[in-house]
Amino acid sequence: MFKEYDIIVVGAGHAGCEAAAAAANLGSKVLLITMNMSNMAQMSCNPSMGGIAKGQIIREIDALGGYSGIVTDKTMIQFRMLNKSKGPAMWSPRAQSDRILFSMQWREMLENTPNLDFWQDNVTSVLTKGNTILGVETEFGQKINAKSVILTNGTFLNGIIHIGERKFKGGRIGENSSLGLTENLINLGFESLRMKTGTPVRVDGRTIDFSKLTEQKGDDFPKKFSFTNTPALTKQKSCYLAYTSLDVHNILRTGFDKSPMFAGRIEGIGPRYCPSIEDKIERFSGKDSHQLFVEPEGWNTVEYYLNGFSSSLPENIQFKALQRISGFENAKIFRSGYAIEYDYFPPVQLKYSLETKLIENLYFSGQINGTTGYEEAAAQGMIAGINAHLKNNNKPLFTLKRSEAYIGVLIDDLITKGVDEPYRMFTSRAEYRILLRQDNADIRLTPIAHKLGLISNQRNNEVLQKQELINEIQRFINKTSVTPDQINPLLKKKNTSPLLQKQKISSLLLRPQISLTELISFLPFFSNYIKSLENINNEILEEAEILTKYNGYISKEQDIANKLSKLENIELHESFNYKNLLSLSFEAREKLSKIKPKTIGQASRISGVSPSDISVLIVYLGR
Ligand SMILES: Cc1cc2nc3c(=O)[nH]c(=O)nc-3n(C[C@H](O)[C@H](O)[C@H](O)COP(=O)(O)OP(=O)(O)OC[C@H]3O[C@@H](n4cnc5c(N)ncnc54)[C@H](O)[C@@H]3O)c2cc1C
């Protein structure tokens, strides 16, 4: 029934969908096998994309030719640029999504992708010969061959759902868990551990008194995630803020003896920074109130998601506590909150390409690697999809450096440091965050993706043209001066000291009170110059402004990245025997032998490998 595929992707979550899209767009014959084709790219938890550091990842996926940004733009119901009061390194786009449309849009885009076939089934094992992948076997008894297999099973591997004292098998509420595959992989020699996560109640919006909540509107001028010509939002739905109280906490406490977490029935490690409400009450016992976000689930539904109220307490306790929250006195719920425990595979078992070290041409991506979040999963899916294609075609592997992309930081962290709790991206994980801004993701990455074959000539040319226009504006403002007469009225209005002699526009822009757009509209010669540039737009002006205002920081970070890249260029061979290098500390010998870093740079980031161990390696290598 099935011919041999180039690549089989198992699971159509965020990782699987991006993996399948990337590999098929590069020209591989791909089969996407998933348990239920009706909920592809399902948002298991909150109906939102992006946010701090995650928004940057979506922009990067989009710049590389992935679909997550386009799908988000086409299905969002609210857009906000977070952290706008901080520097541009921190600006992070966030969208409230229509959960149902999001999944439908993904499916439509994948169905319109050439080279991509679909099969609804449950993969129960991978087929191998020696240490090479041959394909997969499914619950329906199909044995399907492929040159490569990408596993993206998310929270489904031996998933167990907990609500109060009840527990049952499931990969997500209402869906089966994936059985057999973990044991199959363990038999092949892989290590697997448990993690957990949770989700809150979904509330009937018809029963919420919104007048008691604080409205949180979208941005007045909503932006987009995709650099392509996706439509901009013309109307938006609001989110709301609500607050728990001591009364709510006391009711929740009455269920603590039945909590699967406190009673020790859940062993997996959960996300520390995304705790359940019962966790928050326990950990911050001095706090009488916690903020909740009331988020609409879509355009055409009354369902609301209560972000911050994640719980696995018995439903009746969740319900009773909910009704004590101001605005929720008469609330009804559609779905209860729950926790889920699942298997993951520590990602130090992977190479930079996300291929496993143990079985050739087998790749893992997404939550199976101990991450959490749609964006982190989607990014890994792209990397695995691209690399599976490249390896099958004997082409060099595709990796992104930590100084090139958040995606580079993500993969390097996972395979080098491993995870001891569900890994999510933060801006603080990136040492070069002023370089890795959301606004410049296309300039950083689109030309790279064009070389891979994921971006059309036209799209790449547009980015090159954008870069040229930014350079042109920078040249102009670096060489053009304004006189005190020309500019002092504006400086006075802006409460900043007047000029005594003429000054370059670029130096004026260093003043926090002065923006490029204000200068353009105030100075007729500047405005005429800008009008003379073809294809100019606000994005280009914003980029030129950021590069000028933050030039000092950007150059400094780029210098450090260049210096450190020397360490990234000193390669370490996979077969290097660290055990024989006795001047290394015992811990370093153990860790280096396990992780087998590709470069001195990667070795230096392994916890337990000290700077003196790195010196030993450098001396040994004669460098
Ligand atoms: C209850 C819950 C709460 C969560 N809370 C948060 C949160 O607060 N914050 C956050 O960032 N993230 C949260 N997440 C995680 C988020 O949903 C995931 O990070 C993200 O969906 C992972 O994407 P993925 O592609 O790796 O896997 P998933 O989205 O889980 O997709 C896996 C896909 O694989 C399919 N599949 C699995 N096994 C098989 C098989 N053997 N054969 C065929 N198909 C298979 C499934 O049907 C599914 O389509 C939560 C998830 C759950 C379930």
Q: How far apart are CA 21 and CA 16, in angstroms?
A: 8
Q: Which atom of ligand 1 is nearest to the CA of 181?
A: 41
Q: Which of 123, 153, 276, 341 to mutate to test the pocket of ligand 1 (most atoms within 8 A of CB)?
A: 153
Mean pLDDT (whole number) for 271-290: 87
Q: Is the pLDDT of residue 6 over 70?
A: yes
Residue 136: what pLDDT?
A: 98
Q: Is the pLDDT of residue 211 over 90?
A: yes
Strands in 247-347 per DSSP E: 291-296, 303-307, 333-335, 338-344
Q: Is the pLDDT of residue 622 over 80?
A: no
Residue 88: what pLDDT?
A: 87
Q: What is the per-residue burial (b if ≥16 Cβ within 10 Å, else e) of 376-405?
A: bbbbbbbbbbbbbbbbbeeeeebbbebbbb
DSSP assignment letter at 421: S
Mean pLDDT (whole number) for 91-96: 97
Q: Which atom of ligand 1 is nearest to the CA of 365?
A: 26
The ranges of the chain annotated as CATH 2.40.30.260 are: 202-339
- Work out whether strand 92-97 and strand 76-82 pair parallel, antiparallel, or are unpaired: antiparallel
Residue 267: what pLDDT?
A: 76
Two tokens, residue 24 = 């098929």
Stated pTM of the model? 0.94
CA distance to 242, 276, 283, 340, 599, per residue, from 286 (Å)? 19, 17, 9, 28, 47
Query: How do residues 8-42 score in pLDDT, each as one tens digit?
Result: 999 999 999 999 999 999 999 999 999 999 999 99
Mean pLDDT (whole number) for 247-274: 85
Residue 423: what pLDDT?
A: 96
Q: Ligand 1 centroid to 155 CA: how many Å?
A: 5
Q: Ligand 1 centroid to 395 CA: how many Å?
A: 31
Mean pLDDT (whole number) for 61-77: 98
Q: What is the CATH number of domain 457-552?
A: 1.10.10.1800
Q: Ligand 1 centroid to 378 CA: how many Å?
A: 11
Q: Is the pLDDT of residue 615 over 90?
A: no
Q: Ligand 1 centroid to 328 CA: how many Å?
A: 29
Q: How far apart are CA 98 and CA 206, in angstroms?
A: 18
Reference 136, options 170, 181, 103; nearest CA is 181
Cβ of 353 closer than 6 Å to ligand 1, yes or no, is: no
The ranges of the chain annotated as CATH 1.10.150.570 are: 570-620
Residue 202: what pLDDT?
A: 97
Cβ of 72 closer than 6 Å to ligand 1, yes or no, is: no
Q: How far apart are CA 553 and CA 557, in angstroms?
A: 6
Q: How confident is the model at residue 261 (pLDDT cuts 50, 70, 90)?
A: confident
Q: How far apart are CA 405 and CA 409, in angstroms?
A: 7
Mean pLDDT (whole number) for 495-520: 95
Cβ of 45 closer than 6 Å to ligand 1, yes or no, is: yes
Query: How do residues 359-415 score in pLDDT, each as one tens digit?
Result: 999 999 999 999 999 999 999 999 999 999 999 999 999 999 999 999 999 999 999
Q: How confident is the model at residue 623 (pLDDT cuts 50, 70, 90)?
A: low
128 touches 360 (CB < 8 A): no
Residue 385: what pLDDT?
A: 98
* Average per-residue pLDDT for the chain: 95
Reference 390, options 451, 456, 325, 320; nearest CA is 451
Q: Ligand 1 centroid to 44 CA: how many Å?
A: 6
Q: Ligand 1 centroid to 153 CA: how many Å?
A: 7
Cβ of 24 closer than 6 Å to ligand 1, yes or no, is: no
Cβ of 369 closer than 6 Å to ligand 1, yes or no, is: no
Q: Which of 34, 127, 151, 311 to mutate to test the pocket of ligand 1 (most atoms within 8 A of CB)?
A: 34
* Dihedral of the alpha carbons of 328, 330, 334, 337, in degrees to the nearest 10: 40
The ranges of the chain annotated as CATH 1.10.10.1800 are: 457-552
Reference 54, options 65, 40, 43, 69; nearest CA is 69
Q: Which amino acid is at 584?
A: L
Q: How far apart are CA 495 and CA 516, in angstroms?
A: 16
CATH of 202-339, one of 3.90.320.10, 2.60.40.1180, 3.40.190.10, 2.40.30.260: 2.40.30.260
Q: How far apart are CA 448 and CA 455, in angstroms?
A: 9
Cβ of 378 closer than 6 Å to ligand 1, yes or no, is: no
Q: What is the DSSP string of 436-450?
A: S-STTHHHHHHHHHH
Residue 269: what pLDDT?
A: 84
Q: What is the DSSP string of 495-508?
A: T-PPPSS-EEHHHH
Residue 425: what pLDDT?
A: 96
Residue 610: what pLDDT?
A: 87
Mean pLDDT (whole number) for 260-274: 78
Q: Ligand 1 centroid to 351 CA: how many Å?
A: 22
Cβ of 178 closer than 6 Å to ligand 1, yes or no, is: yes
Residue 246: what pLDDT?
A: 96
Q: How confident is the model at residue 123 (pLDDT cuts 50, 70, 90)?
A: very high
Q: Which of 125, 152, 341 to mutate to test the pocket of ligand 1 (most atoms within 8 A of CB)?
A: 152
> How far from chain centre, in Å, is Cα 379?
6
Q: How far apart are CA 278 and CA 230, in angstroms?
A: 41
Atom 17 (ligand 1) nearest CA: 44
Q: Which of 32, 99, 367, 376 to mutate to test the pocket of ligand 1 (most atoms within 8 A of CB)?
A: 367
Q: Is the pLDDT of residue 578 over 90?
A: yes
Residue 406: what pLDDT?
A: 97
Q: What is the DSSP string of 353-405?
A: TSBBSSSBTEEE-SGGGTB-SHHHHHHHHHHHHHHHHHHHTT-------TTT-
Residue 273: what pLDDT?
A: 73
Query: How do residues 149-199 score in pLDDT, each as one tens digit?
Result: 999 999 999 999 999 999 999 999 999 999 999 999 999 999 999 999 999
Homologous superfamily, domain 570-620: GidA associated domain, C-terminal subdomain (1.10.150.570)
